[in-house]
Amino acid sequence: MLCSQGGVNDDLSLCAFITSALLERGKPKDDATLGPALSCLKDNISGTSNTYTLALMAYTFTLANDLNTRQTLLNRLYLLGQSTGSDLHWPYPSGPSDLVSASVELTAYVLLALVSGPQPSTEELTTSSRIVSWMSKQQNPYGGFASTQDTVVAIQALAKYTKLTFNPNSNLLVTVFGNRVSLKQFQVAKTNRLLLQKQPLPNIPGNYNLTIKGNGCIFSQIVLKYNELPEVEKSPFSISAEATVCTDGMFYLHVVVSYNGPRTTTNMVVIEAEMLSGFSTNEFTALLLSGYSFVKKVESNQNSVFIYLDQLDHSTQEYNIFVVQDMVVFGLKPVNVKIYDYYQNEDSATTTYGPCPTDGNEVPVTEIV
């Protein structure tokens, strides 16, 4: 069985995520594995209040074609949605209200539940269009969102909505006006509907308007880029790092982090430590860190080590990364160690560290304890 009967939201979310992934791959809902998992999820619906879990379960039961359970979950979600004008979205149930990345992912699962089932009703299509309106306003100029995770789920949901509402015979003429003067006309038809068309705006600030003639649907976006002096803001994180316990060709990178923000605990946090030139880590680091507080996973490549933390509270945490020398590099320069919120990358702090306290060309010999 893929989930426990405890009604714990994290367990249910993981169960629903795995079950939906298997259903997406075409496993039948009466499969020996999926049957108990779906029963487990259904038995725990009434005891679940987490909005993210409800959205993920709604999508799961949509894929399983259990329309009654799907509707029960959607009815509960409708009561939790937030409307802003004609837009509709679902805020993430924990953390600050501006945690857009997690809210995008959650809202995308609601949209997937609405557009992945049987032919949507007029009411469901209207609700979907309100969701799409909000999600499109969260996109960056390159079509993605704040993080990889929310981008993957959001693009999947938007693609399904587009397929559902696609009109192959659309033909539109879009005119851009500035101070009542026509600046540019875009023709959007079947032959170029996937082509990105752009027009620079000559005067900022300025008043601009779009007029649209024809039949169909387009996505328009205004991108404003400018440089400004960064505001001096106190980061909710603090971090320090130094090379310690040095011996011939190896040392420990000692990293100290803490969270000083307004929440009791953070979301998932990542510590990203760059390696000095000619140095790397090995599998001993993952083994070493497995017993440290909050460590969920450790990954590494040739250049960096990534420590994923379930969360941080207001206590100070210390982590040691085992670093070995692969080749001698002279004149080593300091490199960065960064900590950041996985869902809100702008909440971050960065420090640097250099080689063990020598001339930077070799590592001194001491005893590792």
Does residue 119 lie within any of the structural domains?
yes
Q: Do 341 and 276 fall into the same domain?
A: yes
CB 251 within 8 A of CB 285: no
Residues 6+ apart with CB under 8 A from 47: 7
Q: Domain containing 28 — which CATH number?
A: 1.50.10.20
- Relative to beta strand 181-188, strand 237-247 is unpaired
Residue 369 within a domain:
no
60 and 98 assigned to the same domain: yes
Do residues 288 and 160 share a domain?
no
281 and 206 in a common domain: no
Tokens 């699962």: give the residue.
109
Residue 175 shares a structural domain with residue 71: no
Query: Is 367 inside any structural domain?
Result: no
Asked if 92 and 135 touch (Cβ cutoff 8 Å), the reply is: no
Query: In this predicted model, what pLDDT tens digit does every residue of 153-207 receive, in sequence order?
Result: 999 999 999 988 888 888 999 999 988 888 899 999 988 888 889 888 888 888 8
Q: Can you read off the two tokens belonging to residue 210? A: 């779009």
Domain range enclosing 158: 9-165
276 and 197 within one domain? no
The number of distinct structural domains making up the chain is 3
Q: What is the model's pLDDT at position 94?
A: 62
- Domain contains 269: yes
244, part of any domain: yes
Segment 2-34, tens digit of pLDDT? 444 333 346 888 999 999 999 998 888 778 888
pTM above 0.75, yes or no: no
Is residue 227 one of the residues assigned to a domain? Answer: no
Residues 23 and 129 in one domain: yes
The predicted-structure confidence for 273-301, as pLDDT tens digits, reads as follows: 999 999 999 888 999 898 899 999 999 99
How far apart, in whole angstroms, are the C-alpha atoms of residue 73 and residue 95? 23
